[in-house]
Amino acid sequence: MALATMVFFSCKNDKKTSDNPFFSDYDTPFKVPPFDKIDTTHFMPAFIEGMKQQNEEIDKIINNSDSPTFDNTVLPFDKSGLTLTKVSYVFFNLTESTTNEQIQAIERKVSPMLSNHNDEIFMNAKLFERIKAVYEKRNDMKLDDQQIRVVEKYYRDFERLGANLPKDKQDSLKKINEELSTLTTKFGENLLAENKNFQMVVDKKEDLDGLPQSSIDAAAETAKAKKLEGKWVFTIDKPSLIPFLQYAKNRDLREKLYRGYFMKGDNGNANDNNDVIAKIAKLRVKKAKLLGYESYAAYVIDDNMAKTPEKVNEFLAKLWEPSLAMAKNELVEMQKLIDKEGGKFKLQPWDWWYYAEKVRKAKYDLDENEMKPYFSLDNVKNGIFHVSGKLYGITFEKLTNLPVYFSDVETYEVKEADGKHLGIVYFDFHPRDSKRGGAWCGGFESAGWRDGKKVDPIVSIVCNFTKASGDTPALLTWDEVETLFHEFGHGLHSLFTEGKYNRTAGNVPRDYVELPSQFMESYASEPEVLKIYAKHYKTGEVIPDKLIEKIQNSSKFNQGFTMTELLAAAILDMDYHNLTDPRDLNIKEFEKQAMEKIGLIPEILPRYRSTYFSHIWGGGYAAGYYVYLWAEVLVADAYEAFKQSGDIFNKDLATKFRKHCLEESGNGEGMDQYRKFRGQDPAIEPLLKRRGLK
């Protein structure tokens, strides 16, 4: 089937080959993609040709009659698939940021083809045989450290995908993978249906009491779209749910809406996920066992910095006690408020946001609208340029001569202190219908080496920030400010990456990824930094000390709750994936017992209950929800080093951080790289302090 499709496409589009920009070197400044010449019809032929080229490259490796060496096997494999990489960079950036029906159709067709292509490579017995031969002799082949590391990484990749198993076990594994992918898809479909099915219609104006106007307007618009004009419709999507929980005075409606949310996938209807999850959990244990691991968590974490599930469990347990204690204090404070107001009830989960908001106002008197004028997009952008410049000496210059994929995309050249070219950054700031939600950092080229020449990185940062309106420039919320710093931290990681081999350059484990980003984010709220970039867009007045103080103080607000719900979810994830025998689970019971075991208070639910925990059942975070907190320990510890030195821009430390944690991040194991920078293991105390837990 796949083959037939490929032939069809390659015939149909043959005439396009000559002018297909993916088939030759980009003829643009800094070799950026020639977006003005790329047409949707170029993608499929380039994908097909790219896969064909890579297959030919692999055939050449396995048909070589010389005995396997690094240079005739591992190196050409590492460098294979250039055309495929080129078209993938452009295509998969566009599917996220400027998609359309044509692109979506190509995506549906090409995704299974690519996954199949990948399987064929990693299940290619002859290729594995040659890689294995090099692996076994790696210490006697006069290879340097990096070459040995590349060989070991590839060997492990093959092994982890089942290349080392006997034929019958490979067949079982393929079958399990197939079942898992079907179940995972089913999980997502059920959730989507549940989301769509729930709505809360409000028809009495007094039931909107307490809500901000923006929330009321949005609900009226949703009602209109659903042909319920004159009423208000609230959904369980976060932008509708959270303000309602924070501000709606009607307690019964808060409960109704929150129930709609936390019962997702657990309603005993056609979209119930209990059974789906039980099957996924069971199959994962089987898969791990086939591959020689005790549990699925052991399989996943073996590849991470943490190395073992025990280490993760221990880490989470350490944070759990102080977080829960703090949440209990927050609860006491809110209950006092309820009692004082004469409310004769015990706080319930759907009351938490409402009373927390009241405490926040009373304690910190912080209003978002008071802050926004100081955070115009241009000023915040200058803030990240300033911080990057002070830490690493780099400079930024706006370019106007590069082709872009959408009119308001901005491009910058990044240069070293000595003026040497470092890379290019694309910024795509504002929402549009063709862009998915959220913010992320991607790119169109990775730093590396090709044919003995250095390849410079091309980074892309995509956000969904507030737009300018009328005479008012784009003014960012505090959350957006932090997001820009965060994504730019990922960007710096890509810009600074060095390394000769694709397999290792900048290639870090999952629980390392958020170190560069969260590190950069730490600078956003630093008073010394705020005073440089946070200036009133009208008057140019520097942000007042009083406001800085409020921002700083409120950063520890409600952290007991935030940490507790996050940790509860991370622990639940670990419990599912620590299972060592493939048994039939009763999901409701399992979740209940897991939460009872750690003493979670009934006023707080895990951030995701089992039946809608997409990270672990649908996404790539199985036995991996802990990574956000894990990276935050490193970040807090790293930042502490700067603070202790008395200079948050300490040149010496910045140079070390850049070298070991950014440039050479993939050269060694994550923790070793970190130790090279810090000279010691990270301590957990700085995180506890930062979160207000100590």
Range list of H helices, 393-501: 478-496
* Minimum gap (Å) between residue 432 Cβ and Zn ion: 22
Binding segment for Zn ion (CB under 5 A), chosen from 18-26, 122-130, 283-291, 517-525, is 517-525
How far is 651 from 602, CA to CA, in rounded Å? Answer: 48
Nearer to Zn ion, 97 or 517 (CB): 517
348-368 core/surface letters (b: 16 or more CB in 10 A; e: else): ebbbbbbbbbbbeeeebebee
Beta bridge partners of 412: 398, 425
* Minimum gap (Å) between residue 440 Cβ and Zn ion: 8
Nearer to Zn ion, 512 or 674 (CB): 512
* Minimum gap (Å) between residue 481 Cβ and Zn ion: 15
Query: What phi and psi values does residue 68 have, to the nearest 5 degrees?
Result: -65, 135
* 410, 402 Cβ separation under 8 angstroms: no
* Minimum gap (Å) between residue 484 Cβ and Zn ion: 12
* 100, 437 Cβ separation under 8 angstroms: no
Unique residue bearing structure tokens 């949440």: 327
Nearest to residue 351, comparing CAs of 252, 264, 262, 237?
252
Q: Which of 379, 504, 517, 522 binds Zn ion (CB under 5 A)?
A: 517
Nearer to Zn ion, 58 or 461 (CB): 461
* 464, 438 Cβ separation under 8 angstroms: yes
Nearer to Zn ion, 124 or 517 (CB): 517
* Minimum gap (Å) between residue 457 Cβ and Zn ion: 17
* Minimum gap (Å) between residue 517 Cβ and Zn ion: 4
CA distances (Å), 638 to each of 166, 563, 643, 683, 684, in order? Answer: 45, 20, 9, 9, 11
Binding segment for Zn ion (CB under 5 A), chosen from 317-325, 474-482, 513-521, 540-548, is 513-521
| Position closest to Zn ion via CB | 517
DSSP assignment letter at 659: I
Q: Is the Cα dihedral 86, 92, 94, 97 positive or negative?
A: negative
How far is 527 from 37, CA to CA, in rounded Å? Answer: 46
Nearer to Zn ion, 80 or 517 (CB): 517
* Minimum gap (Å) between residue 510 Cβ and Zn ion: 11
Other CB atoms within 10 Å distance of the CB of residue 146: 18
Binding segment for Zn ion (CB under 5 A), chosen from 89-97, 252-260, 329-337, 512-520, is 512-520
Nearer to Zn ion, 296 or 519 (CB): 519
Q: State the catalytic residue, choosing from 487, 514, 591, 664.
A: 487
Structure tokens at 293: 């691991």
Is 487 a residue of the active site?
A: yes
Site membership for Zn ion, residue 494 (CB under 5 A): no
How many residues at the interface with Zn ion, by CB under 5 A? 1
Instruction: Detail the DSSP E strand segments found in 524-674.
Output: none
Nearer to Zn ion, 124 or 460 (CB): 460
Nearer to Zn ion, 240 or 517 (CB): 517
Other CB atoms within 10 Å distance of the CB of residue 453: 7
Beta bridge partners of 411: 399, 426
| Amino acid sitting at position 26 | Y
Nearest to residue 237, comparing CAs of 267, 192, 203, 278?
192
* Positions marked active-site: 487
Q: Would you tell me which residues interact with Zn ion (CB under 5 A)? A: 517
